Amino acid sequence: MNLKGSNSLTSDELFGQLSYDLNISDEKSLLTLTFLGSEKLEYNLTCPICLDIIFQPYSLRCGHIFCKSCVCLAASVLIIEGFKCANQDSKCPVCRESGVYAKSVCMSELGLLLQPK
């Protein structure tokens, strides 16, 4: 699957105007975001925890992205409790930064992009 498009992901203030290039194949799943006139951001869309395509992506403050269920598991909270209940000392499974859960962002637009068509 190779989706190209231009979109305004307005509801997420992290983004603003950008174009994206979504590339999902067996070997790699990459989302390349290109901000207007500025740099490119490349997201690996494989969840570091379950090693599958990220489902209901959540971005931690450090910028790492996981499935919602995986990130809840990593933070030792129930999905219904949410990340406010996460221990301040809980660390990102990838970069080991602590306190990254409280400010995690639901990337719902990205989730929509990743849904099977």
- Chain positions contacting Zn ion, by CB under 5 A: 47, 49-50, 62, 64, 67, 70, 92, 94-95
Report the residue number, 30 or 94, with the smaller CB distance to Zn ion. Answer: 94
Nearest approach, Cβ of 57 to Zn ion (angstroms)?
Answer: 9
- DSSP-based helix, strand, coil % in the chain, nearest 5: 15, 35, 50
Query: Running DSSP on this structure, what letter comes out for residue 98?
Result: B
Is the distance from CB of 78 to CB of 72 less than 8 angstroms? yes
Nearest approach, Cβ of 26 to Zn ion (angstroms)?
Answer: 17
Query: Running DSSP on this structure, what letter comes out for residue 4?
Result: E
Report the residue number, 19 or 106, with the smaller CB distance to Zn ion. Answer: 106
Strand partners, 53: 46
Report the residue number, 15 or 104, with the smaller CB distance to Zn ion. Answer: 104
